[in-house]
Amino acid sequence: DAFLQHIQTIEPDPATDLEGITQNKLASTPNAAEDLKTTEWVISQEPDVIMATRVEDAKVAAALNRYAGQENRRVYIALRAGTTFEALAQWRKLIGDEAKAAKNLRMIITGRVLRKLCAACKAGYTPDPLTLRKLNMDPDKVGKLFQARTQPMRDAKGNPVPCEFCKELYFKGRTGVFEVFYIDDEARAVIEAGGSLNQLK
């Protein structure tokens, strides 16, 4: 479900689940007019912070962008993108004006959840220098990487032994990997000038 959340720190509403935070559920079927109406209502409440989990309409994006330009106001917008540069491209397209898209933009974060290799049964290997360079690792400093094992573990007699830690799943737990792109004055100038993603990279 998509939500518009807003936070008012001056007069928290004790009726909400989290003190001072109000959630406004957006329609399950995307309707630009309804989303804009809900967005404008939330903005009219003058919250300190707005968080939108789905923005697909240019008018909604423009309204949130204008609100973010007010003093002591912050707006967080979620977009589906694989990289910070893909998210930036979507934002620029939604706003439709390079200068307006860049004006109130401060930071872009993308994240992924990855499975962690089982620490008890992961298999080490020696990577080739080309692979390390692709991973931006120094071949002189990194001599070993790890991967999920492809062969069963065996006891002293050669019998297969299951991993008691991961129950033969090869992975145990998850971790987040995040890419952060700070929009400084230099990046903002490139965006305002209609610069390409390669220039920003």
pLDDT of 3 reads 55
pLDDT of 7 reads 55
How far apart are the C-alpha atoms of 44 and 169, rounded to whole Å? 51
How far apart are the C-alpha atoms of 55 and 94, rounded to whole Å? 9
Q: 165 falls in which pLDDT band (50, 70, 90)?
A: very high
Better-scored residue on pLDDT, 3 or 43: 43
For 116, the token pair is 């962690």
Asked whether the predicted pLDDT for residue 27 surpasses 80, the reply is no
E strand or H helix that includes residue 114: strand 107-117
What is the number of H-type helices and E-type strands within the chain? 7, 10
CB 147 within 8 A of CB 123: yes
pTM value surpassing 0.85: no
Per DSSP bridges, beta strands 171-182 and 49-52 are: unpaired
Better-scored residue on pLDDT, 1 or 67: 67
E strand or H helix that includes residue 77: strand 74-77
The amino acid sitting at 163 is C
Tokens 């609100």 belong to residue: 67
Residues 6+ apart with CB under 8 A from 91: 61, 77, 79, 101, 105, 108
pLDDT of 36 reads 87
Residue 198's φ and ψ, nearest 5 degrees, are -65, -40
| 3-class DSSP assignment, residue 103 | helix
Better-scored residue on pLDDT, 7 or 174: 174
How far apart are the C-alpha atoms of 105 and 62, rounded to whole Å? 12
How far apart are the C-alpha atoms of 14 and 96, rounded to whole Å? 39
How far apart are the C-alpha atoms of 68 and 48, rounded to whole Å? 10
